[in-house]
Copies of this chain bind each other. A is one copy, B any other.
Amino acid sequence: MTVAGTGAFALCDASVEEDSEAPSRLTPGEADPSLPTYTLEQVQDHTGAKKTGVWVVYKHGVYDITKFIASHPGGTKILLAAGKSIEPFWQLYAAHNHEDVHKILESLRIGNLCEDDVAVLEKLRKERYGDGPYSQDPTRHPALKVNSSMPFNAEPPPELLMQSFITPNDLFFVRNHLPVPDVNINDYTLKVTGIGIGKGKEAEFTLDELKVKFKHHTVATTIQCAGNRRAEMSGVKQVNGLSWDTTALSTANWTGVLLSDVLQSLGISEEDCRPLHDCDVAENIGTCDDCNCIIQHVQFEGLDCDTEGKSYGASIPFATAVDPRKDVLLAFEMNGEPIPRDHGYPLRVIVPGTVGARNVKFVHRIVLSNVESPSFWQQRDYRGFPPNVDYSQEDYWKYAGDSIQELPVQSAITEPKNGTTHVVDDGSESSIVTVKGYAWSGGGRNIIRVDVSADGGMTWTPAVLNESGRRQKYNRAWAWTPWELDIEVPPGTKNLDITCKAVDSSYNVQPDTIAPIWNMRGVLNNAWHRVGVEVVEEKPEEEEEEEEEE
């Protein structure tokens, strides 16, 4: 047995002794002479079968992680390392470089890796990541609140985000799954292949060819991460994933060519793609030479890769891709500039009204298929789950919902911030608090109303909607609708329990509370957003003076 791409490993003698108690170590992966030694080949026999469990390697250490999988904060992503060294994954996901993580790992320790295999793995690591996989990442704006630095994930401060309808590129939230690829534009092409294209007839475009061949369109869209407002959901019950606050979304003008135009130029249209016969498409991403069998999904592959060379990928329904009304773009400009590297240079798929994860960055390959993208992020992530299901259930996967595409109606308060104070001069008179926020809905649905409450939802007042948001086309309202409302704070008020909820053009509303929509991935939190503000009376100077005189 070999590890793909690593060649054959030297075999070592090894004594196998299972069920040994592992001591707690703070320097992970140090050799421990009291434990048995294993070869990498032996480790590779433990990749998840019920009898063998899952083993992994870290430096000198061998670990049985079988029982830990359910509580892994990154979910089943941990299985990508089954039977392998986890070191390259820890280099990709730097959150692991933490003492608590090291302690957990060492508590799972069962043995040592033989020295020959340790050397082989170390050599490979150095070849792959001289200065680390993230050494080529771009620099970022210091105002961003970083939720994870490797891969880089960050959101803008709410008060900066809401300063403009269009978010400046530097402040646009960043959701990277992997290191940012360093693309040489002279080597770059976009390939289109799959059902309906014909074997050996895959299309290939340089960026310039795309720009010259097709009409340019500019579309203002808000992109939102499925995990936006996950931090609140964790407050109900712990979930896995990055702890996004309320600003894992931003709005830009994207310029590019319509995916539907590119498909049409290749002879692909809704009408053409009807099943003519049973077509055996190899590996679900192959081509079909002499028929137009059913294209149901359009898969996108990015140039960003994991340690196995697997790229980020995602897919959208063909019905969305081929419909010019859906405004799906292959975009090369963001707010009038070439797309910055963090946001998908040189080409990004923009799927308006659809979860950020399907807006694939660095796209270099499009596959027309009868199935969804085979990528981890389409198959095992970005799906909804019922509130009763968590990782502790062995059969949790059977409850996985459809892959997330269009997002539900959403709104949040960006000002005032939770836990702040509202200072009033004189407790005997009313004062004003200006509440600001955003609202948005997936699928192009317009925001038609936002209700704001200062008493936790007992009474409501409609907010004033931003005109740029309100004036968008019917059911092609891809960008958000900022809003604001001055609320009167009557004398004697001690606390404000400010709450908002939006209504979209389908009259969908946000649910009241988080618990009934809680899900183990911490996605799709669109419950009413709540902000608590304490009202504090500032004693007038005179009074203070008087008191001093007394």
Contact = CB atoms under 8 A, between A and B. Distances in A.
A507 to B, nearest CB: 5
A386 B460 contact: yes
A512 B507 contact: no
Given A408-B506, A443-B506, 11 more contacts: A317-B475, A320-B475, A401-B448, A401-B507, A402-B446, A404-B507, A406-B506, A407-B506, A408-B508, A442-B506, A443-B475
A121 interface: no
Contacts of A388: 451, 459-461
B474 A505 contact: no
5 contacts: A384-B507, A405-B505, A406-B475, A406-B507, A451-B516
B516 A513 contact: no
Interface string A377-394: 000000010111000000
A451 B476 CA distance: 30
A229 interface: no
Contacts of A508: 408-409, 506, 508
A121 B445 CA distance: 50
Contacts of A511: 509-512
Interface in A523-543: 524, 526
Nearest to A442: B506
Interface of A: 317, 319-320, 323, 325, 384, 386-388, 399, 401-402, 404-409, 441-443, 445-446, 448-449, 451, 457, 459-462, 473-476, 501, 503, 505-513, 516-517, 524, 526
A408 B449 contact: no
B474 A317 contact: yes
Contact of A475 (B319, B462, B510): B319
Nearest to A384: B507
Nearest to A516: B457
Contacts of A408: 506-509
A327 to B, nearest CB: 13
Contacts of A517: 509
A388 B384 CA distance: 33
A357 to B, nearest CB: 13
Contacts of A476: 319
A449 B401 contact: yes
Most chain B CB within 10 A, of A320, A387, A526, is at A387
Contact of A402 (B386, B442, B448, B526): B448
A258 to B, nearest CB: 14
Contact of A401 (B406, B457, B503): B503
A53 B11 CA distance: 100
Nearest to A399: B462
A171 B308 CA distance: 60
A319 B324 CA distance: 13
Contacts of A516: 451, 457, 460, 501, 509, 512
A442 to B, nearest CB: 5
Contact of A386 (B320, B323, B451, B475): B451
B512 A386 contact: no
Contacts of A513: 512
Given A319-B475, A449-B401, A516-B457, A524 B507 contact: yes
B507 A407 contact: yes
A222 to B, nearest CB: 15
A317 B474 CA distance: 8
B386 A449 contact: yes
Contacts of A399: 462
Most chain B CB within 10 A, of A404, A405, A406, A409, is at A406
A480 B159 CA distance: 43
Closest 4 CB pairs of A and B: A512-B512, A406-B506, A408-B508, A508-B508
A445 B505 CA distance: 14
Contact of A323 (B325, B384, B407): B325
Nearest to A475: B319
A441 B406 CA distance: 14
Nearest to A513: B512
Nearest to A388: B460
A384 B442 CA distance: 20
Most chain B CB within 10 A, of A319, A462, A473, A508, is at A508
A532 B325 CA distance: 45
A445 B319 CA distance: 13
A452 to B, nearest CB: 10
A155 to B, nearest CB: 21
Given A442-B506, A501-B516, A451 B405 contact: no
Contacts of A501: 516
A384 B449 contact: yes
A384 B512 contact: no
A449 B408 CA distance: 14
A384 B506 contact: no
A441 B405 CA distance: 16
Nearest to A323: B325
Most chain B CB within 10 A, of A320, A459, A506, is at A506
Nearest to A406: B506
